[in-house]
């Protein structure tokens, strides 16, 4: 990892947007992640209509994660040179185009194209949005960075499931709703103050790198396994869990298909809010424990073919997700100086999206060429347990964040 000193991409003008700016930036993360999970309940319709296997489902899901990774690495620091407003407006425009592509999709190729557009938009904006929220208010911004992604994923899956199940044009309407949301958010961004100073060096900033200063490498490496683990759960609940829920329930309901992801992510967000004052180390230990317990509950539910047990596992895992992810964020973020924020947050999200995409694609292959959906779920659960235990081993060697000047709330 190369040590860099990227310029601050959120100057005083944006800080003065205060609570309204914080709410807008958080809402964009929520809507971006909601749009990314919106296809989840629709995959069953697509699979029936276009006759594709679980491998195709997880590939379409995984393409998004891979493109987000690439965009984070290439575009994560661009806002320091272009300004945050142009970056965010471009990202919102790409998301709007993606919604049009999804709504008019006639095959798997269109789904992949839409996911690529979503991935570029999300990866290009996440670092900027996260840094902006921290710059406005460090404490609330840290909490929003931990809550907004999960809340968005869960809300998107549930809303999409309800639209698919109960409203007309199930493969069109949900995307048109998000199109309207992105238009409103673009109007909000357009009236924000301009970011003012824009540093030179845009071309060099596009060279992919993980911009983690030396003093942050040890804590980030210590928390990376649990961040990877909790997001791999998100990948499972966003790709294969809908089919598992329908299989266990004996129902083809799209709402049931999206409900697992909703339970996992909304419970994780509620956990992050309710435990916001808990020390990060305690959160990490609590989250790891609940990840292990939730995975074991899921294993038991699959073995017993228990629909109720599946959701109990999702609930417990959701608590572990929220505690583990917020504990990881609050272990690293207090050590980050202002000029390091976008680069470090982009690196954190690289870990997140690796966790979300890679295991899900492997699980899709196992469903088709291994022992089926139940066996792939068992393998996935044991994988999450192993990652959680890796973090448990690393945590005792992790020093608690020290109070530094960069912890002061700006503005």
Q: What is the pLDDT of residues 243-261, one digit of tens each?
A: 888 888 888 787 887 788 8
Residues of the chain falling short of pLDDT 70: 1-18, 76-83, 194-211, 338-339, 341-342, 394, 397-411
Per-residue confidence (pLDDT) for residue 342, from 0 to 100: 64
**Using one digit for the tens of pLDDT, what is the confidence trace for 103-133?**
998 888 999 999 999 999 988 888 788 878 8
Give φ, ψ of 323 to 5 degrees.
-70, -45
Helix pair 108-136, 18-37: axis angle to 10 deg: 160
In order of 260, 261, 291, the CA distances from 267 in angstroms are: 11, 10, 13
Per-residue confidence (pLDDT) for residue 186, from 0 to 100: 94
At 278, which helix (H) or strand (E)?
none
DSSP state of 41: G
Contact 147, 248 (CB under 8 A): no
Contact 136, 17 (CB under 8 A): yes
The residue among 366, 394, 395, 354 whose CA lies nearest residue 229 is 354
Output the pTM of the full model.
Answer: 0.72
The residue among 61, 53, 121 whose CA lies nearest residue 355 is 61
DSSP state of 395: G
Domains of the chain: 12-193+214-398 (1.20.1250.20)
Contact 40, 157 (CB under 8 A): yes
169 SS3 class? coil
Per-residue confidence (pLDDT) for residue 6, from 0 to 100: 39
Helix pair 54-75, 341-369: axis angle to 10 deg: 160
């Amino acid at each position: 990892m190369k040590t860099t000193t990227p310029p601050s991409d959120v100057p005083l003008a944006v800080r003065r947007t205060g609570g309204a700016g914080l709410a807008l930036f958080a809402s964009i993360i929520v809507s971006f992640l909601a749009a990314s999970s919106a296809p989840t309940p629709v995959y069953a319709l697509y699979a029936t209509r276009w006759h594709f296997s679980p491998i195709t489902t997880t590939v379409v899901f995984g393409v998004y994660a891979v493109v987000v990774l690439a965009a984070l690495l290439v575009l994560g620091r661009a806002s320091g040179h272009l300004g945050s407003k142009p970056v965010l407006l471009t990202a919102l425009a790409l998301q709007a185009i993606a919604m049009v592509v999804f709504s008019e999709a006639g095959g798997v190729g269109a789904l992949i194209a839409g996911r690529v557009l979503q991935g570029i938009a999300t990866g290009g904006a996440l670092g900027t949005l996260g840094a902006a929220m921290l710059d406005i208010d460090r404490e609330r911004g840290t909490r929003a960075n931990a809550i907004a992604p999960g809340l968005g994923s869960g809300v998107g899956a549930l809303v999409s499931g309800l639209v698919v199940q109960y409203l007309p044009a199930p493969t069109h309407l949900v995307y048109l709703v998000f199109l309207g949301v992105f238009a409103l958010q673009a109007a909000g961004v357009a009236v924000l103050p301009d970011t003012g100073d824009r540093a030179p060096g845009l071309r060099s900033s596009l060279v992919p790198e993980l911009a983690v200063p030396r003093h942050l490498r040890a804590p980030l490496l210590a928390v990376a396994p649990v961040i990877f683990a909790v997001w791999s759960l998100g990948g499972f609940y966003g790709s294969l869990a809908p089919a598992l829920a329908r299989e266990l329930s004996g129902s083809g309901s799209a709402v049931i298909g999206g409900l697992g992801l909703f339970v996992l992510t909304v419970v994780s967000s509620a956990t992050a809010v309710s435990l916001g004052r808990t020390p990060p180390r305690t959160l990490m230990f609590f989250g790891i424990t609940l990840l292990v317990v939730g995975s074991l509950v899921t294993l038991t539910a699959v073995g017993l073919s228990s629909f109720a047990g599946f959701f109990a596992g999702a609930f417990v895992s959701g608590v572990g997700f929220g505690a583990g992810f917020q504990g990881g964020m609050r272990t690293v973020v207090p050590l980050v100086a202002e000029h390091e924020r976008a680069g470090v947050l982009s690196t954190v999200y690289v870990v997140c999206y690796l966790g979300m995409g890679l295991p899900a694609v492997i699980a899709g292959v196992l469903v088709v060429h291994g022992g089926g959906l139940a066996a792939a779920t068992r393998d996935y659960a044991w994988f999450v347990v192993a990652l959680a235990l890796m973090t448990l081993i690393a945590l005792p060697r992790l020093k608690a964040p020290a109070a530094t000047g960069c912890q002061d709330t700006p503005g």
